A and B are shown apart, each in its own frame.
Chain A
Amino acid sequence: MSTEPRLIQGNEACAEGAIYAGMRFYAGYPITPSTEIAEILARRLPQVGGKFLQMEDEIASMAAIIGGSLTGAKVMTATSGPGFSLKQENIGYACMAEIPCVIANVQRLGPSTGVATAPAQGDVMQARWGTHGDHPIIALTPSSVREAFELTVRAFNLAEQFRVPVILLMDEVVGHMREKVTLPQPGEFPVVNRVKPTCSRENYYPYKADGDKTPPMACFGEGYRYHVTGLFHDESGFATEKPEIIDWQLKRLHEKINQHLDEIITYTSEETEDADLVVIAYGGTARAVSRAVKLARQEGRKVGIFRPQTIWPFPEAAIGELAASGKKLLVAEMNYGQLLLEVQRVAAGRSEVHSCLQSNGELTQPDVILTKIREVYEHAPGN
């Protein structure tokens, strides 16, 4: 990989990050604004011995990557809102059967067909609860081209480590924006591979896990001859309706994530130490917030920014700390208040929670956020 800086799109950085992470199987369906990921991988994957497949629809794409993953490949698909909705059932299958895979969702304005080329962040709750039933989920959200690369690599690492689907929750701004980046060299960034069983076929229980709660995963075709199903199953992988086993399985699925929150959750915070007001933002919106915070500082207002890179599991501890310190919180996002609900829940009345919400197909401008910062900042608590 070249050490020269390149001017590339967020979607291209995502595709390159996937290849860097070892992804060699992509199945997808064209949809704006994620299509460049498919187009780039259609060209790049065969060059590195990988498999690219354009399936007949979004549902089939999600199914195909699960099939590919079971043979041992690192796999991904990319989509946007309407396609993300269609993939949900099979995302749930990947949660249940514990199949590592990465789903990039370059968010566009919804609901429904919405505006295909317009930015939005309306899929935050769908990323969390889109598929039916209780399940944990990991979703990462980049806000620059460089970070699109890094978080894509990380998405694969987490998927392989925990045997889960990981959502890369991009937005149109980050997907289509071009920035100058120097992509990392091989070895510069850690790349994680799934743990495979070392025991004999007779001793292999595909869903039996040790302390870290993630079981080793055998590849199809390697002689383990095991069963995979979306039904509740016991350690052997076969269906059960016994409440105590269902309980054991569902708890383990949650514990394997909840035991590792410190590893999974990352965020950045700038100038929050002395701040009276902290703006919480992610993805494309965080870029406008950075500018607004800088301008607010120039005006003498003590304002900081907290930016989750891991949006699910929600960075509850870090935001809880901010709330406990009594700082005012302002959530800025391109929707009618989705992460806001989580911030309000965690703040639990310990600090004021305000919002700057926009969902009209335009990136929220820094001056809109600055106006809101001034308004919130000037008002004493309780006013």
Chain B
Amino acid sequence: MLPEIEQYFRLEKLPHMWCPGCGNGIILHSLVKAIDKLCLDQDRTTMVSGIGCAARASGYLDFDTLHTTHGRALAFATGVKFAKPELNVFVLTGDGDCTAIGGNHFIHAARRNINLTTIVFNNNIYGMTGGQYSPMTPNSCRATTSPYGNLERPFNLTELAIAAGATFVARTTTYHTKQLTDLIIEGHKNKGFSLIEVITHCPTSFGRQNKMGTPADMLKWQRDHGISAMRYENLNPEERADKFIIGVLHKTEAPEYTTEYQKLLEKLG
């Protein structure tokens, strides 16, 4: 067994409950590799998750773990981080959890620039409830609640995070595992709110309903459609249509909330 699995997983909780071919396990592996490289103190690192397939991730990881209510992971995590800023706090959330029911907490955590590393497992669908469309389901895609094709438009989550004030914003896929680890490392080093959107595959619901083939086919789709900003620049508008940029999309500096509060305490104290 890989040493980082042995070190950071609650081995007795495995095998996990995700479907065969699901991408969530790939994200967890990249996450623990990042934590290992960051040399984070396991006793002072907290994983906070909401509700849904992605949110079950916290239970498999050997840290203080908080599996909360639907959509509210960022609000719970804000409480943990604000009360004890010395803790490393990661938020593990899905696209439905984070961008629909939790959308308000998402924009406000970004606006506050509170030091949370948020990983959005974007599988474009509500997996746990059986495949309903989410705010990240592309237009015209099928879901059990859009049997004639989705009429809604999806969020551009990274643009939303940037507009709301996040100071580190990145995107990658479960095909690009090395890059995912690097982005989590860089995101965690950022002193502020970091978003890492990970395009992951749900062969059982999204893939099946949209005829995307096997899990391997879905990974190949990620490989072929997620491209670097440099490659994207060189494409004509037609070629760009079904592509998306992966890598760091935004990085800036701004006052971090718990640091600013600490300054206030020192001023008054």
Residues of A within 8 A of B65 (CB): 225-228
A-B contact count (CB 8 A): 126
Query: What sequence of 0s and 1s flags, for each residue 199-234 of chain A, a beta carbon within 8 Å of any chain B beta carbon?
Result: 000000000000000000000111111111111000
Q: Which of B48-73 contact A (CB under 8 A)?
A: 48, 58-59, 62-69, 72
On whether the beta carbons of A221 and B84 are closer than 8 Å, the reply is yes
On whether the beta carbons of B269 and A221 are closer than 8 Å, the reply is no
Query: A217 to B42, alpha carbons, bound, how many Å?
Result: 19
On whether the beta carbons of A221 and B44 are closer than 8 Å, the reply is yes
On whether the beta carbons of B104 and A60 are closer than 8 Å, the reply is yes
Query: A239 to B64, alpha carbons, bound, how many Å?
Result: 15
Residues of A within 8 A of B43 (CB): 221-223, 225
Is B264 at the interface (CB under 8 A from chain A)? yes
Is A25 at the interface (CB under 8 A from chain B)? yes
Is A257 at the interface (CB under 8 A from chain B)? no
Residues of A within 8 A of B48 (CB): 67
Measured CB to CB, the closest approach of chain A to B64, in angstroms, equals 4
Query: A51 to B264, alpha carbons, bound, how many Å?
Result: 10
Query: What sequence of 0s and 1s flags, for each residue 230-251 of chain B, a beta carbon within 8 Å of any chain A beta carbon?
Result: 0000000000000000000000
Assuming the A-B contacts A46-B268, A49-B265, A49-B269, are A55 and B78 also in contact, with contact meaning beta carbons closer than 8 angstroms in the complex? yes
Query: A222 to B84, alpha carbons, bound, how many Å?
Result: 11
Is A65 at the interface (CB under 8 A from chain B)? yes
Is B218 at the interface (CB under 8 A from chain A)? no
Q: Which of A68-76, A102-110, A169-177, A311-319 contacts B (4 or more CB under 8 A)?
A: A68-76
Residues of A within 8 A of B155 (CB): none
Query: A228 to B66, alpha carbons, bound, how many Å?
Result: 5
Residues of A within 8 A of B46 (CB): 220-221
Is A27 at the interface (CB under 8 A from chain B)? yes
On whether the beta carbons of A64 and B78 are closer than 8 Å, the reply is yes
* Chief secondary structure at chain B's binding surface: helix
Residues of A within 8 A of B75 (CB): 55-56, 59-61, 63-64, 67
On whether the beta carbons of B72 and A59 are closer than 8 Å, the reply is yes
Residues of A within 8 A of B42 (CB): 225
Residues of B within 8 A of A46 (CB): 261, 264-265, 268
On whether the beta carbons of A51 and B64 are closer than 8 Å, the reply is no
On whether the beta carbons of A93 and B80 are closer than 8 Å, the reply is no
Smallest CB-CB separation from B56: which chain A residue? A239
Is B86 at the interface (CB under 8 A from chain A)? yes
Measured CB to CB, the closest approach of chain A to B28, in angstroms, equals 15
Query: A115 to B105, alpha carbons, bound, how many Å?
Result: 28
On whether the beta carbons of A220 and B84 are closer than 8 Å, the reply is yes
On whether the beta carbons of A60 and B80 are closer than 8 Å, the reply is no
Is A335 at the interface (CB under 8 A from chain B)? no
Measured CB to CB, the closest approach of chain A to B269, in angstroms, equals 7
Assuming the A-B contacts A220-B64, A224-B64, A228-B65, are A68 and B58 also in contact, with contact meaning beta carbons closer than 8 angstroms in the complex? no
Residues of A within 8 A of B225 (CB): none
Is A113 at the interface (CB under 8 A from chain B)? no
Smallest CB-CB separation from B114: which chain A residue? A53
On whether the beta carbons of B67 and A227 are closer than 8 Å, the reply is yes
Query: What sequence of 0s and 1s flags, for each residue 20-51 of chain A, a beta carbon within 8 Å of any chain B beta carbon?
Result: 00000101000000000000000000110101
Is A342 at the interface (CB under 8 A from chain B)? no
Is B82 at the interface (CB under 8 A from chain A)? yes
The 6 lowest CB-CB distance pairs between A and B, nearest first, are A67-B79, A64-B79, A63-B75, A60-B75, A68-B83, A56-B108
